Amino acid sequence: MAAASVNDEPFRFDFKAEIERLVDPATTVNRDSGIAIWGGEFATGELAGFLAAWDRDGMPNCIWEYAHRIEFREKLPDDKELGLLERGCVFGPRGDMSLRRDGERFLWHFIGSDSVVVPEGYGKQNFWDEHKDTQLRRCNETALLWGKRKTQGEGSADIWQEDRVGWARLDYPSIVAERVQVVYEVFIEDGQPTFVWWKELQPYV
């Protein structure tokens, strides 16, 4: 889901602060930092089993992109929807699992706490096994999501409205606020973003 700018004030880049953040030892992530990174692939017919195999404790939020719509929800797709699924993301404070359709297969990756049990099979490979000496830099970020909550009146459910993405079903679960932001972390290798961990949806104040 595309995101709008965080606020309407002019952006001022603090070069010195950014350099200090990048060289801060506390932002360094390596194979011993407790961050698990896995990835793999599987045939499209295995999609239902793959999704059901995950323990979603600490990963309550879902974004599903189908051939005809995108939606936020707090549950897995129905069986009848799986054939139309193009991309998905299951995320929260314990981890972020993303997948995308590629022909007759799905490609997936996970980044998060090493306490999360990642399902066996499905082409599962450990990033750190192939990148033992890699050092990543972790940056905390936020982004304002599309849509404002519109109150419909007594007896009617509120809706999220954004004319620029009118085709998308905007429905941010468990959020009571006019605007919503996503909190996430970016993991950078040699100056290039390599992984993103979406962590939480929050009211934007």
pLDDT one-digit tens code per residue, 29-83: 999 999 999 999 999 999 999 999 999 999 999 999 998 888 888 889 998 999 9
Contact present, 171 and 71 (Cβ < 8 Å)? yes
Domain boundaries, the chain: 3-203
What integer pLDDT is reported at residue 6 of this predicted model? Answer: 47
Q: Which residue has the higher pLDDT, 159 or 7?
A: 159
Using the 8-state DSSP alphabet, how is residue 117 labeled? -
| pTM for the model | 0.83
Structure tokens at 55: 């323990």
Flag the least confident range among 27-41, 48-62, 103-117, 161-175. Answer: 161-175
| pLDDT > 70 fraction of the chain, expressed in percent and rounded | 88
Which residues, 6+ apart, have CB-to-CB distance to 149 below 8 Å?
A: 158, 159, 160, 177, 178, 179
